[in-house]
Amino acid sequence: MSIIERFFGKRAPEERTPDPLVANTSIQQPLSLQVLFPQVPALDSAALSRTLRAFDRSTSRGRCDLDDELLREGKILGLAGWGRHVVRYVGFDFRMPADAVEACIAGAHYDQDLKQRAREHRAHIILYYAGYETSPLEQYVALAVVAAVFGRNDGLVVLNEAGHTSLPISMLLDIGSSKNSCELLRQLPLPYLYCGFVKHEVEDVRGVWMRTYGAPLLGLPDFAAHADGHHEGQRYFDIFENVFRYVLQSGAKLSRGHTMQIGTSEFMRLRAPKLDESFLTRYRGELFVMEIIGADQINR
């Protein structure tokens, strides 16, 4: 069947498995990453497939299919996949909306020159998960793999628009040059790419609010905390990441009033945002405010 038909989930009657690559159309809200380029990249199915197969042992039988007819017209549309993973991708010869790009790169921790080049990008590719893996983390790992594959064609940065975050493509390429690349992507701190960590200064409020975005897409709550200043950014980044990993590994269900030890002598309590903290609830999904408490205040 044609790539277009498989892109939209059509399968020949005799096919009973996901190979050849066929998109899973039962996913209602697919996870997505976006890759920015200085110009429309010159792509080739065979070259992309070789890059994918070399990324990790688990991707050694992967492939990238491009619609050649559309490619001759300067349009990018196709599928990439291996094992249970399928990723749909669509390319555009124009910029992403400036507000969406700025939300992802303004607070990111990489050099200003790359940020400016990202703002001035001339093309982008959007990746959507369309496979048969149910774990959101594994879905994001698959998207990151494909982002790295495309990124070798002069990619600038990879965005997670839902997470308000971004990373230089070079970081994914470095991971791809290591052994066990997919395992390194699994261990990548979640607020780097799979959800976001953003610091906000709120008018008439002392200190800095720090919060995550997009964690509910991973099956996790978002977290927020009121810090004394920007200097506490790494501290709260680490706290949020550690609690995320604990929830992922344990399957624990967090709720308001829940207390937890987060260090050798540090403890926290979760609460809902207060009425005067409506700026924390402008986005959908569960969110808890994390407050540091003393050992005498934990639930026994």
Q: Are residues 174 and 218 in the same domain?
A: no
Could you give the CA distance from residue 12 to residue 18 in angstroms, rounded to a whole number? 11
Domain boundary among 193, 217, 237: 193
* Total domain count, the chain: 2
* pLDDT > 70: percent of the chain: 97
Q: Are residues 173 and 39 in the same domain?
A: yes
Domain residue limits at 146: 3-193
Q: Are residues 40 and 147 in the same domain?
A: yes
Q: pLDDT at residue 270 above 90?
A: yes
Q: Are residues 43 and 130 in the same domain?
A: yes
Model confidence pLDDT, tens digit, residues 231-260 = 999 999 999 999 999 999 999 999 999 999
Q: pLDDT at residue 205 above 90?
A: no
Report the predicted TM-score, pTM, of the whole model to 2 decimal places: 0.94
Q: Which residues contact 29 (CB under 8 A, 6 or more apart)?
A: none
Q: Are residues 69 and 114 in the same domain?
A: yes
Q: Are residues 149 and 208 in the same domain?
A: no
Q: Are residues 144 and 202 in the same domain?
A: no
Beta strands (DSSP E) in 170-297 are: 196-200, 208-213, 222-227, 259-261, 267-271, 287-293
Model confidence pLDDT, tens digit, residues 65-120 = 999 899 888 889 999 999 999 999 999 999 999 999 999 999 899 999 999 999 99
Q: Which residue has the higher pLDDT, 188 or 71?
A: 188
Domain boundary among 133, 160, 193: 193
Domain boundary among 164, 193, 222: 193
